[in-house]
Each structure stands twice: as C-alpha cells, then as structure tokens.
Amino acid sequence: MTSEEKNQNNIISSELILDNSKYIFSDKPINRFKTKPKVEDISIKLDELRNEIENIENCELKKNALKIVFNDGDYESKIMIVGEGPGQKEDETGKPFVGDAGLLLNKMLKSINIERKNVYITNVVNYRPPNNRKPEPAEITKYSNFLRRHISIIDPKILILMGSTAMESLFGTNIKITKERGSWKDIIINNKTYLCMITFHPAYLLRQPENKKYSWTDLKEIRKKIDQLNIVL
C-alpha cells in the first residue's frame, strides 16, 4: 500500500463528526448511501392513496358525507382490520370504529391482550353511506381497488375482515359469512399472499349478541396465530 493510500484510509477511518458544536472522532464506518426508512415510504404512499380517494369523482357516498374516514392506528402494525364503512360518529370525527361498534371492537381486542393503538384499522368504503345502509355492490367494487392498494401498502401478516362487506370486497358475493368465518384463508393481492380471518362485524354483534360466542372463538384463533408468527404488538 502506497503512502497516499494509507493517508486516504486514515481520513476515512477517522471521520469527523459534528456533535453539539464539539468535534469528535469516530472509527465507525459511515454509510454514505443512506436510504429512507420504510416507515417514510408507507406514510408517503398512504398520503397519496388518501388524496386519490379525497378526489374521487362520481361518488354519491362522498357527496353526502361530512369527512373522509381513512384510517386509524399504527401503520407499522402487522395486524390490519377492515370494517364495512363509516357510521354517523365516524363521519363526524373522520376515524373508523368510534361509535358503539368501535367500543365493542376495543373490548374484543383487549380480550386477547391487544391494544387498539397497536393495530391498523380501515374500512371498505371511506365515506358514510346514507342512513348507515350497507354499501351497494357497485360501491364496494368502486372502492375495492383502493382497499387492495391499502392492504399492499400496510403489508400485514394478518388481515382481519370484519363483516360480510369486507369479505365480499375481496372474495366476492358467492360465499356466506356464516360459513366462512372462523377459518384462515389466503388472498393474493399484487402477487403477494395474505393470511385472512373472516369474522362478524361488531355492529352485527350488537344486534345479534347471541353470536358473540362465535366471535370469541375467532378471536382466540387470531391470538393463537399471532403467537405462532411471533408478531410483536
């Protein structure tokens, strides 16, 4: 090694760092090709998706709604919950699952030791249907592409579909939730396979409390899978 090469090595190995107006020397290698953290990429993609939905055209749901209801929770979470659509309180606050169904959802999650803030939540449609009616097939189809992109951005390890609307948006209308809930299914989105659990929507359970026992079975299966996959929440 020439003396010039040695000098160059010494300069690189003793990189000068400015820290609180004090100069210190470090022998640690410097990464000169830093890339943006994944979390920043997720945030940017979510903002882009939200902007597209906010500017959607020919949408009766948007015309009658107060606010877009896009998401809530931790977008770095490996657990993603998809509900049906906003109700009155969601429309007023701009957040999903904040009414009575949201309170029940919080209790359901806590029953398997999960805090709501540690999961990611969205809906099939992002604007409130009039009078809290179920979204129509054409509306579900219109928003299903947005939902698929949403799922790809979050890239969860477990996808929880709550209610028949969430199920139909990804699996079609030829299946019944009473037969499909409680078992693990695969859904392929953008050439990637996601693990899904279909279960009843909390709003349905408020109307049909006798079916809470089935949701409890589903919740235990979800907790079991979380532990099997070593998902940290």
Q: What are phi and psi of 9, to 5 degrees?
A: -60, -40
pLDDT band at 121 (very low <50, low <70, confident <90, very high): very high
Q: What is the pLDDT of residues 57-103, one digit of tens each?
A: 999 999 999 999 999 999 999 999 999 999 999 999 999 999 999 99
Q: Which helix (H) or strand (E) holds 194?
A: strand 192-199
Nearest to 177 by CA among 185, 168, 187: 168
What the block records as the tokens of 53 is: 């939905």
Residue 187: other Cβ atoms inside 10 A: 15
DSSP category for residue 57: -
Domain 38-228 belongs in CATH node 3.40.718.10 = no
pTM score, whole prediction = 0.83
What is the percentage of the chain residues whose pLDDT exceeds 90? Answer: 83
- More reliable by pLDDT, 3 or 24: 3
Point out the least confidently predicted range of 9-18, 94-103, 178-187: 9-18
| pLDDT-based confidence at residue 137 (cuts at 50, 70, 90) | very high
Q: How far apart are CA 205 and CA 213, in angstroms?
A: 10
pLDDT of residue 38: 75
Give the gyration radius of the chain's Cα atoms: 23
- Residue 166 pLDDT greater than 60, yes or no: yes
Q: What is the pLDDT of residue 2?
A: 56
Residue 172's H or E segment, with its range, is none
Q: What is the pLDDT of residue 150?
A: 98
Q: Mean of the per-residue pLDDT values for the chain?
A: 89
Give 155: exposed, middle or buried? Use CB within 10 Å, 0-12, 13-18, 19+. Answer: middle
Interaxial angle between packed helices 137-154 and 38-54, expressed in degrees from 0 to 180 and rounded to the nearest 10: 160
- pLDDT value at position 39? 82
**pLDDT digit string (tens) for 189-222?**
999 999 999 999 999 999 999 999 999 999 999 9
Largest CA distance in the chain: 83
Q: How confident is the model over 168-182, as a mean pLDDT? A: 96
User: What percent of the chain has a predicted confidence (pLDDT) above 70?
Assistant: 84
pLDDT (0 to 100) of residue 7: 53
* pLDDT, mean of residues 173-182: 95
What are the residue boundaries of the structural domains of the chain, listed by start?
A: 38-228
